[in-house]
Amino acid sequence: TRTSLLAAGGAGYNNGAFQVTDGSNNTLNIGGSLAARYNISIRNEGENGTVNDFTSGFNIPYARLRTWGTIWSKDFDYMVQGTFSDTSSLGDSGSNGSFQLEEAWGRYHIDSNWAVRFGQFKLPLTREVLVENEYQLAAERSVASGIFGQGYSQGVELQYATDQFKFTVAASDGLRTNNT
């Protein structure tokens, strides 16, 4: 199988992801991202009671896996993304490193400007939340986005985009309703 895929130019590493294609309309990309941190906390011994005054160590706040591509037609694309994290996708603690589905959607491009997307995705509300973690300029999102961020939702979205203008309109089950 590997030899036949390579002969057709259909498998290999491409632009940050492993890619498989049948040479026609069907593509599968597999990629992801990881955040690693080293934390140090130094506190005054008298203020903590019996709590240790020095803690340090590495942690991985999230390890994200995603797959995306096209199926049946170049006009129909999809993405499935999930994260192993020490917090939930809404920013509250309690995930304990379990895998959480974040995005699972399909999108049909009606023409070069219009598209319809359906499934679970981030609602088009605040730009800070729409930018993926690996493309953020800061180490984390703001406190305001943690409180007011939309999270993931299931719905249908109509998209329109040109070189100078873009808008989206969505009908969904509401903010912060991921995996419900």
pTM strictly above 0.85: no
pLDDT at 104: 94
Residue 23 token pair: 């040479």
- Amino acid letter for position 163: D
pLDDT at 93: 47
Q: What is the pLDDT along the chain (180 residues), one digit of tens a residue?
A: 555 555 555 667 666 677 787 777 888 889 888 888 888 888 776 655 666 677 888 888 888 899 999 999 889 999 999 988 765 444 444 456 778 888 999 999 999 999 999 999 988 888 888 888 777 777 777 888 877 777 888 999 999 999 999 999 999 888 777 766
pLDDT at 113: 94
Residue 172 token pair: 């969904």
Beta strands in the chain (DSSP E): 11-14, 17-21, 27-42, 54-71, 73-85, 99-109, 114-122, 152-161, 166-172
CA-nearest of 40, 47, 118, 135 to 76 is 118
